[in-house]
Amino acid sequence: MKKILAFLLCAMLLLSCTAALAEKVGVSMPTKDLQRWNQDGAYMEEKLKEAGYEVELQFASNDVPTQLNQVETMIDDGCQVVVIAAIEGSSLGSALDKAAEKGVKVIAYDRLLMDNANVDYYATFDNYKVGTVQGTYVKDALDLDNAEGPFVMEITAGDPGDNNARYFYQGAIDVLKPFIDDGKIIVTSGQIEFDQVATPTWKTDVAQKRAEDILTANYANGEELDVWLCSNDSTALGVTNALEANYGGENWPIITGQDCDIANTKNMIAGKQSMSVFKDTRTLAAQVVKMVGQILSGEEVDVNDTETYDNNVKVVPSFLCDPVFADANNYKEILIDSGYYTEDQLQ
């Protein structure tokens, strides 16, 4: 009997020690306002827990001081790795310094953390390629190599505080700029440079307001618009809203996007948005969980790019996942058959 009791005691002790030893991972997401970050957060939490980690997941309401606080708390709470999708890439310096002091590893998630040496890894989708896919879609849809044109286009890009935004813009502009330069594409508003077309905070209403102003100033008399190049879905939604209320042309313009958010996928099905770039949250989260495991077990961390992502202090070793083209023709295969959405969600 004594032996059995002793055995049980040992087993209980062992169990509680293992629980106490469960490694802890912090996940800091920018906001709950956009569908994608909710999905990224939820999926990361699920996969990390499945892998046996304790998880501290926080959303920062798009408020930089809140995110700074949350990351510092994660470090104080004993997280051994923090995974951060920054609101503003350069604003988390003091938290990153604190992480380094305490030996906590940092993975920049989707958006690069800038201007600090204490960023260990970066996991994202190939951001330049996202822009290339959007630009190439426009080029093919208008048959720019052969058609005479001219075609009329406006441009909406992302948040200047997000390092990704310039990559998306540049990828698309590198495809389309030759046609702008030779007059086959006309940007009537004259707003072409990134700083002129950017959307601070990526917000739908900010993009909508700028689109309304452009439409009022340049397209109030039924002038046709062939394309509105948008860097992502939240901005595409704002542009679509503005067009629905203010556009009097005969042809509905091509509108690009990124993320395959539900509202935008519904718009694609309804013919209001032409395409989106699908970045499967599950692929990115799985990659990050793998990286966390490799970091914590001291293995070599899986990266596939050691040249592109310079954060102004160092080139951060990165893993780039592949973005996928989506439109009304292939969304069933890509979004529904893969289990990302159900049919019902898209009704």
Residues in contact with ligand BGC by CB under 6 A are 34, 36, 110-111, 162, 164, 202, 232, 234, 258-259, 279
Q: How far is the CB of 280 from ligand BGC (least distance, A)?
A: 11
Report which residue's Cβ sits closest to ligand BGC: 232
Least distance between ligand BGC and beta carbon 16 (Å): 41
Which residue is associated with the tokens 């700083």?
Answer: 195
Which residue matches tokens 């959303």?
59
> Cβ of residue 294: shortest distance to ligand BGC, in angstroms?
23
Residue 301 near residue 121, CB atoms below 8 Å: yes
Q: Which is nearer to ligand BGC, 80 or 232 (CB)?
A: 232
Rounded to a whole number of angstroms, the minimum distance from the CB of residue 127 to ligand BGC is 7
Q: Is there a contact between 317 and 123 (Cβ–Cβ < 8 Å)?
A: no
Q: Which is nearer to ligand BGC, 232 or 256 (CB)?
A: 232
> Could you tell me the smallest distance in angstroms from the CB atom of residue 91 to ligand BGC?
15
User: How far is residue 113's CA from residue 312's CA, in Å, rounded to a whole number?
Assistant: 10
Task: Report the candidate in 160, 50, 152 with the shortest Cα–Cα distance to residue 111.
Answer: 160
Query: How many angstroms separate the Cα of 203 from the Cα of each of 83, 179, 243, 280?
Result: 23, 29, 16, 21
Bridge partners, 82 (sequence order): 26, 106
Please, which residue, 132 or 258, has the CB nearer to ligand BGC?
258
Nearer to ligand BGC, 34 or 243 (CB): 34
Considering the complex, state which of residue 36 and residue 105 has its C-beta at the smaller distance from ligand BGC: 36
| Nearest residue (CB) to ligand BGC, 105 versus 279 | 279
CB 219 within 8 A of CB 225: yes
Q: Rounded CA gap, 159 and 67, in Å? A: 17
Specify the 3-state DSSP secondary structure of 140: helix
Minimum CB–partner distance for residue 112 and ligand BGC (Å): 9
The DSSP output letter for 109 is: E
